[in-house]
Amino acid sequence: MPLAPRPRRTAAVALTVAAVLVIPLALAACDAKSYPNSTFLPHTEFGQAIDDLWNLLLRIGTAVFIFVEGLLVITIIKYRRRPGAAPPRHVHGNTTLEILWTVIPAVILVFIAVPTVKTIFKTEAKASADALQVEVYGHQWWWEFRYPQYGVTTANELYLPIGRKVNFALRTQDVLHSFWIPQLGGKRDLISNHTNYLWFTPDSSMSTSAWNGTCNEYCGASHANMRFRVFVVPGADFARWATHQAGPAVFNATAVAPTPPPVAPASPAAPPRRTAARSPTGSDGLVHPVAAVVDASGQPSAAPPTEPPTIVQGGIQSASDGDVFPRDSLRPYNIPATPTPDGLTFTAGLVGDASRGQKVYSISACIGCHTIKGNPSSVGITGPNLTHIGSRFTIAAGLYPNDTEHLRLWIKNARRMKPGVLMLTLGLNQTDPQTGATVTAGGLTDQQIADIAAYLQALK
C-alpha cells in the first residue's frame, strides 16, 4: 500500500525542521575557541597527532556516508513503486557484488588502521630524557603534582613551561582516576599498582594561559569535583615558580631565616571584601594583587581593619613570591563558581591573625594530614601539601576560589563543602554530614578558623 499523503507530508516537515535545527547547531560547535573543553583546538604535538587522525577518519567516514546514502537515495527514487508497475524481479545472490562489498570495506579499514596504529606508537613512545618530569598522583578527590627535578610537591595546580616537553608519570593512591586537559592532552588513566605515562609539549601558540583539567574515570562521591588548573607560562616564569615552590613556607618557617615582608603600597582605604588590591605593574610587566591586611610577618598592618582581611586570590605579590601567573590572564572558565552549601555560615567581622593561626594549626588535627615544609609538626600526607597554599588560585581540587570566605568555610566543614572528602569536619558545633556526629569538645571556633585561614593565606 502506498503511504498515505498525510504521514508522508509529516515526515517531510519533520526532516526539514530537524535539518534547520541541527545544521546551525553543528556549525556552532565548530567554533572551538569559545569552548575550552574542546579537543578540536590542540595546543600540543600530542593533541595535534590525535586531531590529525580524527580529521582523517572524519573525512573517510564522510566520503563513505555520502556514497552509501547517495546510492540509497538514488535507489529509493529510481525503483519506487509506480501505479500499474509489475512487481520487481527477485534476485538471489550476486557473487561480484558480494566480493566487492567485502573487499571495499577491508581496504577502507586498512586506510584507517595504518594511521591509527602509527598514532598509537607515536603517542605511546617514551618521552625524551630531557623532558620535565611531573609525577601525578590521583587521590580521592584531588591531584598531587610532584616535580622531582625541582623538589616541588603541590596540589591541584600544575605549572608547565611553554615549549618544553613534559613527561607525566601517572599513578593513583587509591582507586582509578583519569587525567585530562582537553586542549593539551590526555585522557590517560591512573591505574592502581601501575604507572602510566603521558607526554606533550605545550606549544608557543598559547603564550601565558590557564586551562581546566578534570578526572574522567568515575572514582566515587566527589568524582565530578576532582578538577585541576594548568598554568602554561614562559620558561623563565616557570623556573621562578619552581624555585619558590621548592622552598619552605614563607611565613615563620623554622628552617630558614624569615624573609623580609614584601612592601605593600600604602592603600588609603581598606579595599572592599573579596576584592584584591592591586599594586602597579611589577618589574615583570604583570599586574599583581597585594595583601593589604596581613603582611608577611603575620602582623595586622598599621590601621587595624574593621573588615575581614582582604582576600588575595592566588597571592600574586612580587616576582620573589614565586606566584607567576597573572590573575588578569585567567579566563572566566578558570574561576570556580560552585555555590557554597546552604546554611553554612561564618561569624561576620572576624579578623584573622596569622601568628595565632600558626599556633592553633600546629596543635590541631590538620598536622596529621597536611605537610607544611618549615613547620616541623605538620608532616601528614593524607591531604594536599599546604606549604604554598596561599599561592594557589583555588582550593578543594579547583572547586572553590582560594579566598578568605571559602577557606574559612572549608576549614569549618569540609564535608559539607565537598561531599565525601577525607578531611574531617572540624568546626565547633558543626555536624559531619557523613557520620551525623556533631563536633563538640576540641572543635575550632570561628575565631580560631579565621586565624588558621590567615596563616594559610600568608603561605604564599
Q: Could you list the residues that contact Cu ion (CB under 5 A)?
A: 177, 215, 219, 223, 226
CB of 201 to Cu ion, least distance (A): 26
CB of 243 to ligand HEC, least distance (A): 20
Asked if 372 interacts with ligand HEC (CB under 6 A), we say: no
The pairing of strands 157-161 and 227-233 is: parallel
Rounded-to-integer distance, Cα 375 and Cα 251, Å:
9
223 contact, one of ligand HEC, Cu ion, none, CB 5-8 Å limit per kind: Cu ion
Helices (H), 216-266: 235-246
Among 41, 191, 335, 365, which residue interacts with ligand HEC (rule: CB under 6 A)? 365
- CA 290 to mean position of chain CA atoms: 25
198 contact, one of Cu ion, ligand HEC, none, CB 5-8 Å limit per kind: none
Asked if 439 interacts with ligand HEC (CB under 6 A), we say: no
Amino acid at position 140, single letter: Q
8 A C-beta contact, residue 413 and residue 425: yes
CB of 303 to Cu ion, least distance (A): 46
Nearer to ligand HEC, 127 or 444 (CB): 444
Nearer to ligand HEC, 246 or 264 (CB): 246
Nearer to Cu ion, 289 or 336 (CB): 336
8 A C-beta contact, residue 135 and residue 148: yes
CB of 392 to Cu ion, least distance (A): 20
Nearer to Cu ion, 219 or 354 (CB): 219
8 A C-beta contact, residue 181 and residue 172: no
Question: Which of 177, 173, 205 is closest to 189 using CA atoms?
Answer: 177
271 contact, one of ligand HEC, Cu ion, none, CB 5-8 Å limit per kind: none
Amino acid at position 252, single letter: N
Among 370, 373, 408, 412, which residue interacts with ligand HEC (rule: CB under 6 A)? 370
8 A C-beta contact, residue 350 and residue 446: yes
Asked if 459 interacts with ligand HEC (CB under 6 A), we say: no
Looking at the chain, how many residues does it have? 460
Q: Which residue has the cell 557473487?
A: 95
CB atoms within 10 A of CB 114: 10
189 strand-pairing partners = 178
Nearer to ligand HEC, 305 or 420 (CB): 420
Among 141, 168, 211, 346, which residue interacts with ligand HEC (rule: CB under 6 A)? 141
8 A C-beta contact, residue 341 and residue 236: no
CB of 361 to ligand HEC, least distance (A): 6
CB-based contacts of 116: which residues, under 8 Å, 6+ apart?
Answer: 53, 57
424 contact, one of ligand HEC, Cu ion, none, CB 5-8 Å limit per kind: ligand HEC
Angle between helices 446-458 and 404-412 (to 10 degrees): 130
Nearer to ligand HEC, 327 or 418 (CB): 418
Rounded-to-integer distance, Cα 18 and Cα 73, Å:
18
231 strand-pairing partners = 159, 210
> x-or-dash pattern for ligand HEC, window 13-42, by CB under 6 A?
------------------------------
| Footprint (CB under 6 A) of ligand HEC, residues 192-231 | 222
One DSSP character per residue, 20-84 reads HHHHHHHHHTT-GGG-TT-SSS--SHHHHHHHHHHHHHHHHHHHHHHHHHHHHHHHHHHT---TT
DSSP state of 159: E
CB of 456 to ligand HEC, least distance (A): 6
354 contact, one of ligand HEC, Cu ion, none, CB 5-8 Å limit per kind: none
Query: Cis peptide before 141, with omega less than 30 degrees from 0?
Result: yes
DSSP state of 334: G
Rounded-to-integer distance, Cα 187 and Cα 47, Å:
10
CB of 190 to Cu ion, least distance (A): 9
| Footprint (CB under 6 A) of ligand HEC, residues 374-433 | 382-384, 386, 389, 392, 395-397, 410-411, 418, 421-424, 426
Contact set with ligand HEC (CB under 6 A): 141-142, 155-156, 222, 361, 364-366, 368-370, 382-384, 386, 389, 392, 395-397, 410-411, 418, 421-424, 426, 452, 456
